[in-house]
Amino acid sequence: MLLVNCLGKISRLMKFIFLLLIIVTTFISCKKDNVKGVIIGINLIEHQSLSENKRLDTIIKSTLKGNHNSLRRLNHFPCNGGASCYDKGYIITQIIYKMKENQFIQMVEKLDKKELYGIEEYIDTGLEYGDNDYDGKMDNKDFKNEFPTLYKIITEKK
């Protein structure tokens, strides 16, 4: 009888550990859709692996701290074309709004001409198709009007 009671307790303990393992694994393996208030669009999330999502998380955090090399990595981060790249543009415009234009300019000034073409295109896309004012609608804003100083610096440097 004692053996049956012990086996029953071990069985319940094993079930509990297994359930706990499933719960922990589920939470650890989830992709992030928001990093420090910067929204990652669903199209980009769906086209990236868990490791790419974690790498993007790190890149966004570092870019928000003013690291120009992280901005470079964000510029080259794979988006696989189409709507995923619109999402990447939206990430960049959200970063500009969070950092403010002048701080973003300090990073841009450290990039080379070739990189500026990509940044410019992503900003254009992020302003046009992103929801930077979080009202549920695409903004359809113009780079030249929204960030005039940044626009001037990028176009003169290219």
pTM: 0.81
Counted domains in the chain:
2
Specify whether 105 is located in the same domain as 135.
yes
Specify whether 42 is located in the same domain as 89.
yes
Per-residue pLDDT tens, the chain, 158 aa: give them.
Answer: 665 566 666 666 555 555 545 554 454 459 999 999 999 999 999 999 999 999 999 999 999 999 999 999 999 999 988 899 999 999 999 999 999 999 999 999 999 888 898 999 999 999 999 999 899 999 999 999 999 999 999 999 87
State both tokens at 156: 């003169």
| Residue numbers of the domain that contains 3 | 1-30
Specify whether 18 is located in the same domain as 41.
no
Alpha helices in the chain (DSSP H): 2-28, 42-46, 50-64, 68-76, 83-99, 101-108, 113-129, 143-146, 148-157
Specify whether 71 is located in the same domain as 130.
yes
pLDDT for 24 equals: 45
Specify whether 81 is located in the same domain as 116.
yes
pLDDT for 29 equals: 56
Specify whether 51 is located in the same domain as 14.
no
Specify whether 22 is located in the same domain as 58.
no
pLDDT for 80 equals: 86
pLDDT for 34 equals: 95
Q: What is the DSSP letter of 40?
A: P
Specify whether 79 is located in the same domain as 9.
no
Contacts of 141 (CB under 8 A, 6+ apart): 127, 128, 132
Specify whether 11 is located in the same domain as 75.
no
Specify whether 68 is located in the same domain as 40.
yes
Q: What span, in angstroms and rounded, lies between the C-alpha atoms of 54 and 49?
A: 9
Specify whether 76 is located in the same domain as 110.
yes
Specify whether 69 is located in the same domain as 6.
no
